Chain A
């Protein structure tokens, strides 16, 4: 857990930038403000592109910022 709060119960979303994208599976590799990368499901905000910033909750992007 970073100093920016709790992501474990996930009612705090985090902006993250899409680094790699597999449009066929709807999965992407996203980097948050602390430089941490995680696999993210972006199917609920499609279409998105590499470089877009999305708000991520528990491994799922809910909004394209």
Chain B
């Protein structure tokens, strides 16, 4: 398919790998964070890291929306799912995310009506088809998925579908990046910027990273050649002493984003004062809630939920993985007690989670040649 096949060309990949090798300063160690879980998945699916010299280290960021949902929010969702008459809808990955007392899939096994949907539009369709039931959509995702939730809410309001509501867990990309940059744990040389979040917000919101922290950012596509080219662009910025936001994914990402989508987001959502992120803790103004104009569709106002903060299981080191402090295989339960079939932590649930990416594609610690 156009826009896909030409970005998986093996010969061009080898050429780019050679250019990356030539751009590396001998003896220097580079830490580059890929922010988005989609990039993590592509890197391990296509073996992109095997084409890199060992002193170019890829650090996996917090950009998998399933992985950053804290257990307390899962518990709140399960509490709503158990309410009489409720049809609880969510994306498939969320079904298996463990709460403190089981997952949504286990709630379904206990009798709750939990259904997987591919988009909030599907959830709205279920609400139209079941006017005597209450249909709740568990919304997750960054600014990429938030427009989908927002447009569905606009349709629900325009069509007066009173039995539809949304439990909003949408998060925003810039605050966690700033939190990571402020973290003393992590010393990064540059960022592979999230491609599809940027289709909505544009590349401009990342300008604070070179301006305030002196690190290059390259907004990248998701095919293997996209990622290799983006790494090369970061290394060239570092070699030339530049730091700026570059857009490798210009075939998709406009520098100023999708203005129509941003307008819809501003209408339907407002920022929460703070929100808890798994592994990163509470971050100010990092998540969205429904605006006053859409409060009638807010499931958190329609139902009472526990709203209790729940600590992660002690054995789980998702927090360190999400901050890039450890690699997935360095977690004590990786691949033994914690597998995609029986996950303990969220990073093992979604295919975009770093642990699942390592597990599914067999990327364990391995020796690579240091330049």
A5 to B3, CA, bound (A): 17
Which A4-23 residues have C-beta < 8 A from chain B?
5-13, 15
A2 to B38, CA, bound (A): 14
Known: A55-B196, A57-B196. A11 touches B148 (CB 8 A): no
A1 to B93, CA, bound (A): 10
The answer, among B93, B148, B251, B253, for a CB contact under 8 Å with A57, is: B148
The answer, among A8, A15, A44, for a CB contact under 8 Å with B118, is: A8
* A15 CB to nearest chain B CB (Å): 5
Size of the A side of the interface (Cβ < 8 Å), in residues, is 27
Which B335-360 residues have C-beta < 8 A from chain A?
350-352
* B218 at the A interface (CB under 8 A): no
- Does B119 lie within 8 Å of A11, measured CB to CB? no
Residue of B nearest to A14 (CB): B4
* B152 CB to nearest chain A CB (Å): 8
* A30 CB to nearest chain B CB (Å): 12
Which B134-172 residues have C-beta < 8 A from chain A?
140-142, 144-145, 147-149, 151
A11 to B352, CA, bound (A): 8
**A6 contacts across to B, CB distance below 8 A:** 41, 93, 350-352
* B81 at the A interface (CB under 8 A): no
- Does B147 lie within 8 Å of A44, measured CB to CB? yes
Q: Chain A residues in contact with chain B, CB under 8 A?
A: 1, 5-13, 15, 33, 38-39, 41, 43-45, 53, 55, 57-60, 62-63, 65
A-B contact pairs, 8 of them (CB 8 A): A9-B91, A10-B141, A10-B148, A11-B197, A15-B4, A38-B119, A60-B147, A65-B3
